[in-house]
Structure 1
Amino acid sequence: MTKPDDTIRVLIPLTVRKKNGRPKIMPPADYRPSDDQTQDPHVLRAIGRAWGWRRRMEAGDFATIQELAEAIGLAERHVSRQLRLAYLAPEVLKRLTCGREPSTVTLYDLCRLSGETWQEQTERAHG
């Protein structure tokens, strides 16, 4: 056991890099996530939010993306980009939400993929 006045120093080899103007903590190059890791919670949350927005727009709560963005207090551009996630191919959505292996596809990649055909989305989102 340690004494109350002892100091324990833990070294975690992380690096900080800027990504899109924001600092991002990067793990060591040899880091491998555990086998039981699930999907990225940010991606899952964004997909759920996009589907909620889509349902509200289809129900007639909002006529335009601008109205939706104002109501939820987010930028119209952000809402427009994120709303695209509700139109991803069913196979891609299934892999992202039900798959057991962590996906290497980022949220940004998914938003860009949404403009392609479902077959192209499925092929490119395989990463």
Structure 2
Amino acid sequence: MFTIDPGGTPRSYVSDGQRVTSVPLTIKRRSNRKLLIPPAHPSNASPSGGYDEPMIRMLAKAFHWQRLIDQGRFATIAELSSALKMEQGWAAEVIRMTTLAPDIVTAIVKGQQPRQLNLQLLRGRVGGIPRDWAEQRRLFGFTDA
């Protein structure tokens, strides 16, 4: 038998003739899926969230759309969203990701972003993206700031 014990300590014991292994995993939602995060251990500790393809694709889309506006193909986000048949607010959320600090963008593309960083937080739904890059680093969990 295998149990998930959030916040507990790993242990293994026998109960009623069955081996019971308890692992303190944390369950988090990330991009419409559940992510099991194992306990920190010196041999497998990794502060990064790994490659997050949806997040990388969304960043690429944001910079592409911003380039279309910068090149004059669309005058405004409203015009862009109308041409692409999407909600203006959603397009604005995505394009807002182009204001991220360059080192944050690089970390995401390399798969070295903090585990807790997700698309909802990046698109500014939780409280907006600060303009100050040092504040962004602090908010998104980049400890090297």
Category of TM-score, reference length = shorter chain: 0.5 to 0.7
SS at match of 1:104: coil
CA displacement, residues 30-50 of structure 1 (integer Å, 9 cap, x when unaligned): 599xx7x73211110100000
Q: Does 1:68 align with 2:80?
A: yes
**Identity of aligned pairs, percent?**
24
Match of 2:132 in 1: 117
Candidates 50, 58, 67, aligned match of 1:46: 58
Q: Does 1:79 align with 2:91?
A: yes
Distance across 1 between alignment mates of 2:81 and 2:122: 20
Contact 1:39 1:103 in 2 (8 A): no
| Cα offset, 1:102, TM superposition | 6.1
Structure 1 unaligned regions, length at least 5 = 1-18
**Greater share of strand:** 2
Match of 1:9 in 2: none
SS at match of 1:79: helix
Match of 2:102 in 1: 90
Distance across 2 between alignment mates of 1:91 and 1:82: 18
Instruction: Return the letter of the residue paired with 2:101.
Output: A
Contact 1:53 1:83 in 2 (8 A): yes
Match of 2:43 in 1: none
Q: Does 1:26 align with 2:41?
A: no
Instruction: Return the letter of the residue paired with 2:131.
Output: E
CA displacement, residues 41-96 of structure 1 (integer Å, 9 cap, x when unaligned): 11101000000000010000111111000111111010001111111111211111
| Cα offset, 1:25, TM superposition | 4.8
Instruction: Return the letter of the residue paired with 1:26.
Output: K
**Greater share of helix:** 1
Structure 2 unaligned regions, length at least 5 = 1-28, 41-45
Distance across 2 between alignment mates of 1:62 and 1:124: 32
Distance across 2 between alignment mates of 1:101 and 1:81: 20
Q: Does 1:126 align with 2:145?
A: no
